[in-house]
Chain A
Amino acid sequence: MALFHLSWSEIGQHVVNGITLGSIYALIALGYTMVYGILKFINFAHGEILMMGAYAGYFFYMALNGEGVSSLSLFLFLLAMIGSMLVSATLGVIVEKLAYKPLRTAPRLAPLLSAIGVSIILSNLAAFLFGTKSKRLDYPFPNETILLGNVAITPHQILIVVSALVLMVALKLFVDYSKLGKAMRATSQNMNVAKLMGINTDFIISLTFAIGSALAAAAGMLVALEIKIYPTMGTLAGLKAFVAAVFGGIGNITGAMIGGVLLGVIETFGVAVLGIPQGLRDTVAFTILIFVLLFRPSGLLGKKEKEKV
């Protein structure tokens, strides 16, 4: 018995592949959603922050561990990840101060275009500084495939899913229960009132960028395990994650997580079940997105905005 023309092992394999892909989308989507929640603008440079984070992580890991795998490698990998998160957080804040902050009161499209300018600068800067060649981030362990029946799982996939999960839960706890998290939520609901209540909204915005960028850096290192590191690596991953954020309801943190994982699974699965060429994979993803938006105009978990008269 099999679903359509697929065998069970193939289905299992697609699920594994889809969840890996989806957890990365989810992690990147968080950055989009957080910034959107507060500033109501799409940070198109988010994918490039991810790319810069991946480079930083690569250099840290090479400096700490070098070539080869030892028993310490996994620890050093996580250490490099923390380092890259700090670098990206700093970069995110700098970008925010230079390119977005002066535009806080400008028409809505201005920061969008400014973000595109930032993304062009960052990807070309990386090409200039680090070269156009792809860099390989080594697995911090012997990455031998584990076969469950006919379904193949690799340790690096487990690392991706577990790290993504830990980071997402940590973020959720932070936003829901800490004082700063509460201030972030207040700022996102109404910046002016939050300001009147004594919240330093400029600081909160910087904090949002810092956290979003740090998560992007972590995602960047995890993505690097899957697709290597190169100057334009952030573009497609960023676009997809952005779709995932909208899919789940932009501005909603839980929505971004669910949207990311769902998009990953639907993408890998949709194509396999429908049996259409893989070249049309993005088409499937975007078509589903359009339909979801038609039936739930604010995404899966997004709140329906009240129309003010």
Chain B
Amino acid sequence: MLNFLSLLVIYIEIYAILALSLNLIAGYTGLLSLCHAAFFAIGAYTTAIGMTMGGWNFWFSLFVSGILASMLGLVVGLPTLRLKGDYLAIATLGFGEVVKNIIINWDSLTRGPNGINGVPTPEMFGLKFGYDTPFAYVLLYALFVAGTYFVIRWVVHSRFGRALEAIREDEIAVGAMGINAVKYKVVAFMMGAFFAGIAGSLWAVYNQSVAPQTFDFMLSVLVLCMVVLGGLGNSLGAILGALVIVILSELPRLTGLTSLIPAQFNQMFFGLLLILVMIFRPQGVLGRKRISYETEVARILERRSS
């Protein structure tokens, strides 16, 4: 029972880190990225491979995972030199699929479709983490969520963060002010990817196994849902989004409905909630209401035509 609840809390914590980091890219900087699963995967696989084959310890793996993921962030961020809006989204979608395909096909390193299992658990302060210590994970990961939250809060409140928000609002004006928007966008990608890599590492040592099925396009979409649900550009919202999405998707299991209704209904229920939330709170649960020129014009026209 406690193991099940703590599993949910741990999933929420890991997704919260993912959502916080994507929020930096999509929410604050306004870059629609659909490859967050790839950054997450790089982190998870780096840790899994490093700890099983390389004999690395947890902290070192964690660090390398973050760095490698942010390197991929650099690679993904570079096309932002030229691509805008939805085209960037498609390019990132492409990157995500490429990374997943390479993982599935690079059998000698990633063990292909079976994934890597038997990842050692972390050991610190004389405590060996394991199945019997779910609370140790809950606590440790809570610290990581808090750490990510405060680092990102510090970043967005800095001069750098204001530049990111300015880029989102009006990139051309930012350019005219003499700010190199490209540099800022690439760094935003790298930072977001770094935290996603950390989340991947935490994922690997908690589940003790990684498999390519986890890191599909739907995961990127799910994390984006969390960010949008909480409210773009709102860090607390991102955490709330992770909480709501995990609970919603596990609600049938939590309430014991899984044995009573057809499995498809769980999924349909989730899809329906997604639509309803978007219709009734399109700006997200905690979203900041921003005045958009186009929406205002549309509203005025609407009023005139009726």
Residues of A within 8 A of B (CB): 36, 40, 42, 98-99, 102-107, 109-111, 113-114, 116-121, 124-125, 127-128, 192, 195-196, 239, 242-243, 246, 250, 277, 279-280, 282-283, 286-287, 289-290, 293-294, 297-299, 305, 307-309
Contact = CB atoms under 8 A, between A and B. Distances in A.
B278 A114 contact: yes
Chain B binding site: helix, strand, loop or mixed by DSSP? helix
Given A102-B279, A120-B271, A290 B228 contact: no
Q: Which residue, of A42, A116, A119, has the highest number of chain B Cβ atoms within 10 A?
A: A116
B228 A110 contact: yes
Contacts of B173: 309
Given A192-B297, A243-B94, A283-B102, A113 B271 contact: no
B86 interface: yes
A117 B232 contact: no
B108 interface: no
Contacts of A289: 90-91, 94
Given A111-B278, A283-B102, A120 B270 contact: yes
Interface string B253-279: 000000000101101101111110011
Given A118-B275, A283-B102, A128 B282 contact: no
A60 to B, nearest CB: 24
A116 B225 contact: yes
A124 B268 contact: yes
Contacts of B82: 293-294, 297
Contact of A283 (B86, B98, B267, B301): B98
A86 B82 CA distance: 41
A114 B305 CA distance: 27
Contact of A109 (B217, B232, B265): B232
20 contacts: A42-B86, A42-B89, A99-B275, A109-B32, A110-B278, A113-B278, A117-B270, A117-B271, A118-B271, A120-B268, A121-B272, A192-B298, A195-B301, A286-B95, A287-B98, A293-B79, A293-B87, A293-B90, A299-B87, A309-B172
A297 B83 contact: yes
Contacts of B267: 120-121, 124
B179 to A, nearest CB: 16
Contacts, number: 142
Contacts of B83: 293-294, 297
Contacts of A283: 97-98, 101-102, 105
Given A103-B282, A120-B271, A297-B83, A113 B228 contact: yes
Contacts of B228: 109-110, 113
A293 B85 CA distance: 12
Contacts of A298: 87
Contact of A114 (B93, B217, B274): B274
B154 to A, nearest CB: 26
A299 B84 CA distance: 12
Nearest to A250: B86
B21 to A, nearest CB: 17
B271 A103 contact: no
